[in-house]
Each structure stands twice: as structure tokens, then as C-alpha cells.
């Protein structure tokens, strides 16, 4: 499912935290859905990556970070280091990373 900047998404009893990209065609972007009974807040990130980070408070706070890397996009170590330096510990990074190995078939 593709969601554009102007689309309103509603899932009953959940808060939606998202970061979409402006594009002529629907593509990319990320979202996290957090149950309304879990205290949560969105973190502001300074990154060019398609990402969203939410701090949730269950017994103690944890930051959940969702990242999307389009196929064939190269991510640089400095981009990851910059991202990680902004996340309060503990954190969990999840996402659609479209992993690729230059070894291709050798990994099977």
C-alpha cells in the first residue's frame, strides 16, 4: 500500500507516525503504528534517509526506528553513524533495507 503526503491513515486505537516522500508516483516512505494505550512520542531526526523514530514507554523507554532503503540505493557509513548518534539508548532499528551482496549467488 502506498500512502501519499496528503493521505490520512487511521487505524482504530493506534497512533500513526510516518515520514513520506514527495513524488509524482507513490513510492518509499515509512510508518510505525503504536497502540494508543502505550505512551509514545515521535522524535525529530536530522537525516536524509527515509525514516521515522518513536520513543515508547512500557516499563522503561525504548526508541523504535523504522528505515526504508530503496533497491540499489547506497547508504554510507557516515549516514548510519549520524542516525545512531541521534537515537537515545536503548533503540531498535527495523525496516525494509533491500539488502544486497556483491557476491550474489555465493550466499545461497
pLDDT of residue 22: 59
What domain range is 33 assigned to?
14-96
Judging by beta carbons within 10 Å of its beta carbon (0-12, 13-18, 19+), is residue 106 exposed, middle or buried?
A: exposed
For the stretch 41-90, pLDDT in tens is: 999 999 888 899 999 999 999 999 999 888 877 788 898 899 899 999 99
Q: Domain of 81: which CATH number?
A: 3.60.10.10
Q: What residues form DSSP beta bridges with 32?
A: 17
Residue 84 placed within a domain:
yes
pLDDT of residue 108: 46
pTM of the model: 0.75
Strand 50-57 to 61-68 pairing = antiparallel
pLDDT of residue 2: 52
Residue 8 placed within a domain:
no
DSSP summary character for residue 88: P
List the one residue out of 14, 72, 82, 92 whose CA is nearest residue 48. Answer: 82
Number of domains composing the chain: 1
Amino acid at each position: 500500500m502506498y500512502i501519499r503526503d496528503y493521505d490520512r491513515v487511521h487505524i482504530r486505537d493506534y497512533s500513526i507516525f510516518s515520514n513520506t516522500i514527495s513524488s509524482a508516483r507513490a513510492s518509499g516512505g515509512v510508518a510505525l503504528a503504536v497502540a494508543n494505550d502505550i505512551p509514545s512520542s515521535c522524535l525529530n531526526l536530522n537525516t536524509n534517509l527515509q525514516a521515522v523514530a518513536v520513543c515508547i514507554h512500557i516499563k522503561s523507554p525504548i526508541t523504535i526506528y523504522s528505515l526504508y532503503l530503496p533497491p540499489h540505493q547506497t547508504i554510507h557509513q557516515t549516514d548510519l553513524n549520524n542516525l545512531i548518534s541521534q537515537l537515545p539508548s536503548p533503540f531498535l532499528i527495523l525496516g525494509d533495507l533491500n539488502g544486497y551482496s556483491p557476491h550474489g549467488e555465493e550466499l545461497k
